């Protein structure tokens, strides 16, 4: 609270010194370019601190996440989860024959998006943020030009500019035919029907989520990934376990396979080569899930003196660019493209622009995948810890030994804890299985606060819950796992 009061005093006391001769209608304390999770959160946070804020957005607020990313895919994933659960019901004593109404599923998706977009618009209005519709371009350390309807307006900032332009689908590194059945993740949300056969190119987060959704909807799904495991960049064990789970659901996954072309025909044909040679995937629709790239073109970065290397805006640990007073957040600065990371950066950038000195602990940022089963991770894998020169070990506990998971018919997966040997500091937590996206919050807190596995183990977890899997893994770090045989020898009771 003391820091917030200091920031408010700074902005309210210092904002008028620079802008006495500026047009009040086009002069603000903070300008934010981009209304996605990083941008709208930055705008609201700056307004909470007493700043006069303008947000420039050319489309609907909410960005990719809210309009064509996280939220609509999770709405469809919820439909898929209900379908999957109903089909699993026979083993639990529930006899049902669920039928998908794809039209209603799409209506549900659109209704959720509309409600949340409207909610963000209301929040911006309630905080007094002025929304300028148009394309924003940086024209100086304290100026943004807004182009709309053939006209250009110039907005001025007394304290700082925050760039949050987001990202766009990456161009695939192979020939792709122009065909309505060849879609990116945005167009996949608008498919009029469920394809009988779906080929997914790319086994990252987007690819495995859509593979899970459409497999639940009844499509025969084949997934092709160039790297050795699904979910590249995650702990490899998570990708391997997810592939095994996919196999049980008849989702064909081909890691270590290179797509050579996508050809038009009836059906569409994906030509690829893998460890066993060349092969062809026939499909009625092809999803290009080959990643995303920062959307930084036409932002005026070079002319303004903002450095961008490797296709991303370069920032320091305070999220300030090479041009003092200009900050950047979210997908545009590279790294994990996560909405919650962008939101945290938005808050930090807003506070720093108004006089604070905050930084983000990147190791404590979780990542979640809403596949079936879910995957979530935070902190370091064992290999990453060893690359940093840390002495570490990993201990896993399977959901097949968790009472709640078995009762729910969801015994696939595990919780893994990476920690300093002997129950020391938690360096990472990795989950594949039911409710992984919820369970990872405790892991993120442990990594953020530097908690030990011993401290997690000494915290009573309610029974029977999925969260007990993390408790057991933490116990296993001390050789004290209760509900699963674990090879590690227990320490003596006198060990400190």
Per-residue tens of pLDDT for the chain, all 496 residues: 555 655 665 554 443 323 333 344 699 999 999 999 999 999 999 999 999 999 999 999 999 999 999 999 999 999 999 999 888 888 889 988 899 999 999 999 999 999 999 999 999 999 999 999 999 999 988 999 999 989 999 999 999 999 999 999 998 888 887 899 999 999 999 999 999 999 999 999 999 999 999 999 999 999 999 999 999 999 999 999 999 999 999 999 999 999 999 999 899 999 999 999 999 999 999 999 999 999 999 999 999 999 999 899 999 999 999 999 999 999 999 999 999 999 999 999 999 999 999 999 999 999 999 999 999 999 999 999 999 999 999 999 999 999 999 999 999 999 999 999 999 999 999 999 999 999 999 999 999 999 999 999 999 999 999 999 999 999 999 999 999 986 554 554 433 3
Helices in 230-354 by DSSP H: which ranges?
236-248, 301-304, 339-353
- Which DSSP state fits 490? P
Which residues, in sequence order, are bridge partners of residue 312? 309
Please check whether residue 65 is in contact with residue 193, taking contact to mean a CB–CB distance below 8 angstroms: no
Burial class (CB in 10 A: 0-12, 13-18, 19+), 270: buried
Query: What's 127's DSSP letter?
Result: T
The alpha helices in 315-402, defined as continuous H runs, are: 339-353, 382-387
Closest-CA residue to 221 (of 289, 293, 291) = 289
Catalytic positions are 463
**3-class DSSP state of 57:** strand
Q: What is the largest CA-CA distance in the chain?
A: 76
pLDDT for 367? 98
| pLDDT (0 to 100) of residue 90 | 84
Closest CA to 146 of 157, 18, 62: 157
Domains 2-65+108-168+293-363 and 182-290 are alike in CATH topology: yes
pLDDT of residue 488: 59
Cα–Cα distance, 29 to 450 (Å, whole number)? 37
Q: 182-290: CATH homologous superfamily?
A: FAD/NAD(P)-binding domain (3.50.50.60)
Contact 205, 232 (CB under 8 A): no
Closest CA to 253 of 271, 264, 263, 240: 240
Alpha-carbon gap, residue 430 to 304, rounded angstroms: 42
CB atoms within 10 A of CB 220: 17
Could you tell me the two tokens for 165?
């332009």
pLDDT in tens, 3-13: 565 566 555 44
Q: With beta carbons less than 8 A apart as the criterion, state whether 251 and 199 touch.
A: no
Q: Which fold has domain 373-476?
A: Enolase-like; domain 1 (3.30.390)
So what's the pLDDT on residue 492? 44
The neighbouring-strand residues paired with 294 are 167
Q: Give the pLDDT confidence score for residue 496 in this predicted structure.
A: 31
Alpha helix segments (H runs only) across 274-402 = 301-304, 339-353, 382-387
Contact between 432 and 375 (Cβ < 8 Å) = yes
pLDDT at 145: 97
What are the residue boundaries of the structural domains of the chain, listed by start? 2-65+108-168+293-363, 182-290, 373-476
* Tens digits of residue pLDDT in 128-166: 999 999 999 999 889 999 999 899 999 999 999 999 999
- Tens digits of residue pLDDT in 232-255: 999 999 999 999 999 999 999 999
* Domain 2-65+108-168+293-363 listed as CATH 3.50.50.60: yes
Q: Where are the beta strands (DSSP E) in 439-487?
A: none
| Tokens matching residue 2 | 């003391």
Contact 285, 279 (CB under 8 A): no
Do strands 252-254 and 258-263 pair parallel, antiparallel, or not at all (unpaired)? unpaired
The answer for residues whose C-beta is within 8 angstroms of residue 201's C-beta and 6 or more apart is 172, 207, 224, 259, 262, 270, 286, 287, 288, 289, 290
Residue 123: its pLDDT value, please?
A: 98
CB atoms within 10 A of CB 49: 25
Residues paired with residue 286 on neighbouring β-strands, in sequence order: 182, 199
Length of the chain: 496
Considering the chain, what percentage of its residues have pLDDT values greater than 70?
A: 93
| Per-residue pLDDT tens over the stretch 104-115 | 999 999 999 999
Q: Are strands 143-148 and 135-140 parallel, antiparallel or unpaired?
A: antiparallel
């Amino acid at each position: 609270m003391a820091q917030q009061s200091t920031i408010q005093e700074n902005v309210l006391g210092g904002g008028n010194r620079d802008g006495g001769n500026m047009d009040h209608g086009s002069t603000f304390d903070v300008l934010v370019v981009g209304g996605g999770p990083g941008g709208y959160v930055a705008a609201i946070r700056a307004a909470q601190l007493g700043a006069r804020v303008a947000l420039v957005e050319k489309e609907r607020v909410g960005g990719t996440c809210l309009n064509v990313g996280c939220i609509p895919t999770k709405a469809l994933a919820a439909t898929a989860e209900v379908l999957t659960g109903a089909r699993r019901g026979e083993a639990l004593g529930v006899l049902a024959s669920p039928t998908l109404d794809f039209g209603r599923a799409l209506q549900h998706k659109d209704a959720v998006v509309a409600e949340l977009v409207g909610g963000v618009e209301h929040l911006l209005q309630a905080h007094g943020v002025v929304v300028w519709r148009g394309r924003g371009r940086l024209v100086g350390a304290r100026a943004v030009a807004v182009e709309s309807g053939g006209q250009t307006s110039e907005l001025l900032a007394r304290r700082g500019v925050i760039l949050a332009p987001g990202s766009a689908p990456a161009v695939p590194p192979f020939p792709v035919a122009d065909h309505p059945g060849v879609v990116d993740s945005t167009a996949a949300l608008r498919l009029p029907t469920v394809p009988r056969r779906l080929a997914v190119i790319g086994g990252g987060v987007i690819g495995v989520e859509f593979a899970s959704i459409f497999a639940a909807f009844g499509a025969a799904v084949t997934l092709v990934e160039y790297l050795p495991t699904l979910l590249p960049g995650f702990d490899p064990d998570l990708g391997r376990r997810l592939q095994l789970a996919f196999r049980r659901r008849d989702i064909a996954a081909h890691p270590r396979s290179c797509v050579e072309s996508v050809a038009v025909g009836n059906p569409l044909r994906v030509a690829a080569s893998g460890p066993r040679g060349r092969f062809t995937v026939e499909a009625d629709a092809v999803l290009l899930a080959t990643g995303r790239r920062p959307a930084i073109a036409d932002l005026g970065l070079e002319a303004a003196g903002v450095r961008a290397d490797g296709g991303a805006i370069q920032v320091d640990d305070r999220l300030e660019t090479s041009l003092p007073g200009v900050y950047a957040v979210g997908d545009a600065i590279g790294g994990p493209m996560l909405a919650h990371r962008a939101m945290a950066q938005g808050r930090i950038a807003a506070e720093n622009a108004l006089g604070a000195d905050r930084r983000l602990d990147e190791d404590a940022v979780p990542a979640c995948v809403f596949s079936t089963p879910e995957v979530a991770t935070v902190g370091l894998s064992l290999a990453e810890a060893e690359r940093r020169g840390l002495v570490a070990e990993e201990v896993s506990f399977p959901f097949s030994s968790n009472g709640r998971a078995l009762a729910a018919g969801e015994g696939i997966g595990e919780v893994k804890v990476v920690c300093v040997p002997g129950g020391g500091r938690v360096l990472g937590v990795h989950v594949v299985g039911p409710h992984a996206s919820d369970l990872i919050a405790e892991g993120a807190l442990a990594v953020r606060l530097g908690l030990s596995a011993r401290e997690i183990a000494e915290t009573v977890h309610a029974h029977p819950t999925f969260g007990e899997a993390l408790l057991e893994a933490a116990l296993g770090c001390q050789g004290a796992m209760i509900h699963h045989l674990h090879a590690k020898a227990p320490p003596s009771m006198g060990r400190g």
